[in-house]
Structure 1
Amino acid sequence: MIGLWMSFVVFPYLVLGDACSAQRNCHDCITTNTFIPLKDVKCRWCPLDGKCHTFGSSEIPLLGFTKNANPCEQWMNIKEESNCSLDSDESVPYDPAKAFVLANLSAVAYADFGFIRKCMEKIVPKEEYQVVVTVSKKCDMDRLYLGRCYAFVAVSKLRKEIVILLRVRNAKLIQFWDEIKSWVKTPFGKDGAKIDRYLNTSFSNVYYPCIYDTIKDLVSQNRDYNVVVTGHALGGAIASLAAYTLVTEGIVDKKRLLLYTFGMPRVGDKAYAYYHDMYVINSWRIIHNKDKISRSPSIARGFYHHGTTVLYPEEMQSNTKFNISRDNEDPETLKGSSSLQNHLKYFGVNIPDVCKSLLGSTITNSEGIDYSWKYCGDQLDQTDKHDTCTETPIKNVTESVCDFDKDFCDWTSVPCSKFNFQRKKGPSDKDKKTGPVIDKTGSGYYIYVDASDNELKLAKLRSPNFTAGNYCIEFYYHMFGEDMGSLELYMYTTITPRKSIFKKEGEHGTTWRLQRGDVYATNLGKGLMHFEFEATIGKGYKSDIAIDSVSITKGHCHRN
């Protein structure tokens, strides 16, 4: 008798649950009723995936219902027919030809400042885009220099468009990839959403006040113009925040705003995705199946993509077939290979190299240089004008033993950072009020960060890459000085967030201290791992932090 009762419960649930999933719009979903004995289960519409779900299935764990799981939080589900208008499709169709043009225009943000107009004329020769303003600001996080943020505003009278191009230039893509694994969220906007902290800081730096004021003035003068926001990679993430803010602050009507991003990472949590879909109705997140950045940070860390997804599953060209998905996290978007290099390539072109290819030898001389527009931000320097940054290749090794007597071995600093570890022989401070007097052996070199005029700054030092396995890590550290900050060692892998494995704060005397420990990372498959020291200067100059004789070898540490 018990078996008959169980079959009676399971059978109608599965049938009626399918009745919900069969509904293709919000109205039909809400007006479809289901019945499960002893349970009040209804059909509910989830805006995050644009699907109808059986609301209440999570309250019936015995049935084991997991098919077509509802990604919406409970408060996101639409249950009243009158609220279906909030999820109504008022957007214009995706335009692949426009996406192709905007992908190339987003490359303008990679051009030398003096050749922005020339490059734009090559990409869209008959559009007569006029550059109105450019912005360049440092993008720092926790006193660590990670690159620069750029914004460009141009107007086309022919298209009746105001275009905002955004870009984040990283010191080095590989190094920055390590950073995004540890992204944390911070509140954003008025709706209780949370976004990545670094993106929040970068957006605020580059958007206010110059872009905000410029767009406000241009929109008031050109009421019948559309505003198009675009960007590649992290520039796309900043573009997402700009589009959201332009609508929520009432600067641009949501029907006149279009957002095209290329290979952008996840920006915020489900609440951000939910409200972004509500406010930015003409949004297309364009990706291809070889882009690694578009799959990060992970959903497991609480990040979630907003819509609408435009997936190019094959080799991406201007005429390639694509799939449009209302589901913000369509499983198809998680398939394919992952490559940081392929991340730079959209519609068959390497985006950072577009302007160089179009302008050729022109960019090697002063002919055609043009700065005839308003500039906002930090003072233009050589890195802005030439966009070059020395990069040191990261090596793959089986072990690393370094006493720093000759060089840094295979350890590297963050490119373009002006505050780094340096080699030293003898006292780090002439008055001997901070730092070591000699290295660990008494006759060689050590490395340290100089606290003089560098209060509260952070320096990083990265190891080479190691394959999966068990390792013994040994090093000496020196933290003497009454203003002492902190020293921390992190472990990174290609598949997991970073993990702190050592941290010391405050003064630790005038002697070198040994730190030794075992690290286990055997489940990486073909993945790699590496380590990073982070030294944070204290509130005064008596805060020199030093390291010496770093050893990372296979196997377990030998205990004395």
Structure 2
Amino acid sequence: MKLFLVLMLWQMSFYTTQADCNDHNTCKSCASEDSWIGSCRWCEDTRSCHQLESGYDQCFVCSNNSLSTKCSITEQSDCGTNIKDGDETKYFDAKEAYDALLLSAIAYSDDPTSCMGKHFRTQDLQLVEVIGMRCNDMHFDYKECFALLAVSKFKRTIYLAFRGTSNPEKMLRENLTTFNSYHPTNIRGKIHSYFGTANKRLYSCVSQGLADVLKEYTTYKIIIVGHSVGGVLASITSADLLYDGLIYKHKTTLYTFGMPRPGDKEYAKNHDFFVPHSYRVVHYQDIISKSPPRDVGSFHHQLEIYYGKEMNVESHYVICERYEDKSCVNGESNIESIFSMNYHKNYYEITVGSYCQTTGGSNKDKEKQSALFDLFNDKTCRRIKRHLIPTNKSSIQDGTAGVLTTLMIICAAWKL
């Protein structure tokens, strides 16, 4: 009988406590509630409060998306660190990010005019010019450093998109020593020499091209984008443009996807001052976003927008406000990331490097030039207006031969 009464009292107290947790509708009020078996648990995924380890715990949706460790908040100090897509999204717009990713994908094409017309069917988005320079000594997919400028009159937006590399593991493997050397930056802090060299080759033409477009579209906002190494170039260029006074903070947004760490901690923090509207989007176990490693002085700027395995415009995401926050991609297993290269290549259900591919067959030879190669030279960057860009039927593919072997070499060399 005594045992029965004890069990009854325990059950009553359990449900009473659970009801208390359910009464809270904010993270801070939820995390401040204590009970005899522990504090209440705030679930970012459902934006609801539950008793820790209770049968009423609704964080299972987040667990299915491999984000369970990002959902559980039991301390007030952690509230707001990981913000789920609700009222406090720090102005992140997933649909705008998706459009930015499309521009990143188009930058990989050597027929950007046709690709843009195919994937932006309203014909509102117009290519203005492409910018490039031969970069034979750098490990891009083609032998050019490359960017494009486009304008949307409907959205009153100017887009600046940088081509990255859909074969970044080769670049990382063959340039390990490069990531032990740095270039100083205008905003103070240092960036890795490899990225600094690529930026220097394009910047004069990029800044001139953007200045010319702004003369015609003076009130338009600017979105700067890039995937992989293209994200690093977008990061560095955005800071330089703002430092030089060519664009303004309140009109500028940066979106990067699967971006490697560009430089050191000082650069990262100064970048956040110069480019406050910056969103570093990461897809689950993307290993490129965790390289170069921290032990060579590399550091990411903010904000990190972190998606789980499933990633589309409607998917849940987490915003990590802390630098190098282990609640986001840094909390994922490095061992598992080595075997997850597809998370780097695929964002918002788009295989970025091959999105504009129009030809079938085997992977292209990454050492060959693109159809645009003859437009550029190896002395200075060049700006090519839209009507002078040849239309062709080829586009780069997304080759991954030897990916696992290469990544294991990278991992061993950098002790990831």
Q: Could you give the per-residue CA deviations for residues 517-557 of structure 1, whole angstroms, max 9, x where no partner exists?
A: xxxxxxx8xx9xxxxxxxxxxxxxxxxxxxxxxxxxxxxxx
SS of structure 1 residue aligned to 2:256: strand
Deviation at 1:140, TM superposition (A): 5.2
Q: How many angstroms apart in 2 are the aligned matches of 1:136 and 1:385?
A: 20
Give 1:387 shift.
Answer: 5.1
Using the alignment, how far apart are the partners of 1:151 and 1:220 within structure 2? 20
What does residue 249 of structure 1 align with?
Answer: 244
Q: 2:107 — aligned with what?
A: 109
How far has the Cα of 1:95 moved from its partner?
0.3
Q: How does 1:64-213 map to 2 (within 5 A)?
A: 93-113=91-111, 116-126=112-122, 128-139=124-135, 147-169=143-165, 172-182=167-177, 183-208=179-204, 210-213=205-208
Between the aligned partners of 2:266 and 2:259, the Cα distance in structure 1 is 18
Find the aligned partners of 2:239 and 2:160 in 1 and give their Cα distance.
Answer: 13
| Residue pairs, 1:338-417, within 5 angstroms | 338=337, 339-356=340-357, 377=382, 386=394, 393-394=401-402
Q: Is the 8 A contact 1:185 1:268 kept in 2?
A: no
Secondary structure of 1:495's counterpart equals helix
Q: Distance in 2 between matches of 1:465 and 1:121?
A: 36
Could you say which residue in structure 2 is the equivalent of 1:28?
none
CA distance 1:276–1:181, shift in 2 (3 Å): same
**Counterparts of 1:104 and 1:97, CA distance in 2:** 11
Question: Aligned AA for 1:314?
Answer: K
Assess if the C-alpha contact under 8 Å between 1:314 and 1:320 holds in 2: no
Over 3 Å counting, the alpha-carbon distance change for 1:351 and 1:256 in structure 2 is same
In 1, Cα distance between equivalents of 2:203 and 2:393: 21
Normalization by structure 1: what TM-score?
A: 0.48
Does the CA contact (< 8 Å) of 1:132 and 1:155 recur in 2? yes
More helix, by proportion: 2
Q: CA contact under 8 A between 2:92 and 2:279: conserved in structure 1?
A: yes
Which of 295, 300, 303 does residue 298 from structure 2 map onto?
303
2:265 aligned with 1:270: yes
Encode CA deviations 1:158-182: one digit per residue, 9 max, x unaligned. 1111100101347x44321313543
1:286 matched to 2:284? The reply is: no
| C-alpha separation in 1, matches of 2:399 and 2:343 | 19
Taking a change above 3 Å as real, the CA distance of residues 282 and 127 of structure 1, as seen in their structure-2 partners, is farther
More deviation, 180-189/231-240: 180-189
The residue identity in structure 1 corresponding to 2:291 is: S
* Change in CA separation of 1:260 and 1:466 when aligned onto 2, cut-off 3 Å: closer
- What displacement does 1:386 show? 4.0
CA distance in 1 between counterparts of 2:201 and 2:236 reads: 12
Normalised by the length of structure 2, the TM-score is 0.64
Listed one character per residue, the Cα deviations across residues 458-513 of structure 1 (whole Å, up to 9, x for unaligned) are xxxxxx8899xxxxxxxxxxxxxxxxxxxxxxxx552334xxxxxxxxxxxxxxxx
Structure 1 unmatched runs, 5+ = 1-23, 25-90, 362-369, 397-463, 468-491, 498-523, 528-560
Distance in 1, matches of 2:128 and 2:237, equals 17
Contact 1:127 1:156 in 2 (8 A): no
Q: Note the aligned Cα RMSD (angstroms).
A: 3.7
Call closer, same or farther: CA 1:118–1:92 in 2, change over 3 Å: farther
Matches of 1:227 and 1:221 in 2, distance apart? 13
1:168 and 1:184 map into 2 onto residues whose CA distance is 21
Distance 1:314 1:189, change over 3 A: same
How far does residue 92 in structure 1 lie from its aligned partner after superposition? 6.3
Q: More relative contact order in 1 or in 2 (CA 8 Å, sep 6+)?
A: 2
C-alpha distance in 2 between matches for 1:466 and 1:195: 23
Q: 1:494 aligns with which of 404, 411, 414?
A: 411
Identity across aligned pairs (percent)? 28
Kept in 2: contact 1:289–1:335 (CA 8 A): no
The aligned runs of 1:14-93 (5 Å cut-off) are 93=91
Which is further off, 185-194 or 229-238?
Answer: 185-194
